[in-house]
Structure 1
Amino acid sequence: MPPSTPPALPLVSSLVRHYEELVDYLRRRFRSPALAREVVHDVCVNLLERPAVNDARQPLALLRRIAHDAAVDRCRAEDLRRHWVEPRAELPESACDRPGPAQHAQGQQALQRLTASIERMPCRRRQVFILHKIHEVPQADVARRMGIGLKAVERHLRLAVADCRLHGGQ
């Protein structure tokens, strides 16, 4: 007894008849011949695996809609993939931002030089620098607390920063 053949699939036979027309339709819409062929091929495979409604009044119009929707889905999936995959290529080589032993040692040395530089400053300059830069006290409040003018605070800060750059190694 010969194997049973599936009943005729009108949409598949219509797709085979209008294959090039569907490819051309998608190529014009999406400007990609490769995408057009892949999508029409996928539509054909999908119709063979899961036959659609067999009583379509306008099979070519239905096939165009199915192919168009499949192409849009593919483009959206590709955009989503690009959004998540391509930026990942720009990640740093190390997953952790913590400094290594060499960077930690360099940081400790820089901190020691900065501390020594601050300790060498004249008393008033050191006080102004610590209040403003470390304790984040506004310059006007530093001037009021220390009983000096705002211009004096600015001058002490300018000289303190220059000292730190000169002696702190920055």
Structure 2
Amino acid sequence: MPREQTYPPLIAALVRHYDELVEHLRRRFGADRGFARDVVHDVCVNLLAEPPRQPVLTPIAYLRRATLNLAIDRHRVERARAAWVLSMDELPDGVSEAPGQARRLDAAREFERLAAAIETLPPRCREVFVLHKVHELPQAEVALTLGISRKAVEKHVRLGLAACRAALQRELGS
């Protein structure tokens, strides 16, 4: 035979008066039973998570007040949300993460300027810069691959970055 579950007094009162609380909220807000049930369920969850610190002398009055307060809060939130939605002339279908045509065109021009700046670099400097910045090889590996010192790699990378920066700034200045 299953053992009978014992509940804290407020939860027991909530279970006993569940239908009454739901009906009270439904009448008070003219809402559907789903709204009222959700509010009563949330009050139950709140009571289980954080019971009152002091004993409640009239559990049904306490539960009516708790469900009413939560329902009022929810009703206000829903009303504000509905007003916000109505204030929008037209809601967008969705926000696209893809860049717009203008941004793609700007990016293509910027890429062309950078490619042109890299092409103007001396051959060894261009080779070092491309290996490090485009192919993402570490400077030590670039030095080893090309048989040059790490200081030389650093110098070529600095020169390449300066040329790219100058190409981009020329465009901004014009």
TM-score normalised per structure 1: 0.51
Shift of 1:118: 0.6
Aligned to 1:63: 61
Aligned to 1:115: 115
Aligned to 1:134: 134
d(CA) in 2 for partners of 1:162, 1:151: 16
d(CA) in 2 for partners of 1:108, 1:148: 34
Instruction: Say if 1:71 and 1:108 are closer, same or farther in 2 by CA, change over 3 A.
Output: same
Secondary structure at the aligned position of 2:136 is classed as coil
Shift of 1:45: 3.5
Paired letter, 2:66:
H
Instruction: Say if 1:142 and 1:72 are closer, same or farther in 2 by CA, change over 3 A.
Output: same
5 Å matches for 1:37-48? 43=25, 45=27
Paired letter, 1:66:
R
Instruction: Say if 1:103 and 1:93 are closer, same or farther in 2 by CA, change over 3 A.
Output: farther
Asked if the contact 1:43/1:67 (under 8 Å) is kept, the reply is: no
Q: Provide Cα deviations, 1:2-35, integer angstroms capped at 9, x if missing partner.
A: xxxxxxxxxxxxxxxxxxxxxxxxxxxxxxxxxx
Asked if the contact 2:121/2:160 (under 8 Å) is kept, the reply is: yes
Aligned to 2:51: none
Give 5+ residue unaligned stretches, structure 2: 1-23, 34-56
5 Å matches for 1:7-156? 43=25, 45=27, 60-72=58-70, 75=73, 77=74, 95-156=95-156
Q: Provide Cα deviations, 1:120-156, integer angstroms capped at 9, x if missing partner.
A: 1011111111111111111110111111111111111
Aligned length: 111
Give 5+ residue unaligned stretches, structure 1: 1-41, 51-58
Asked if the contact 2:25/2:71 (under 8 Å) is kept, the reply is: no
Instruction: Say if 1:119 and 1:94 are closer, same or farther in 2 by CA, change over 3 A.
Output: farther
Q: Provide Cα deviations, 1:66-87, integer angstroms capped at 9, x if missing partner.
A: 2224424654x47987xx99xx
Paired letter, 1:99:
P
Shift of 1:114: 0.9
d(CA) in 2 for partners of 1:138, 1:78: 59
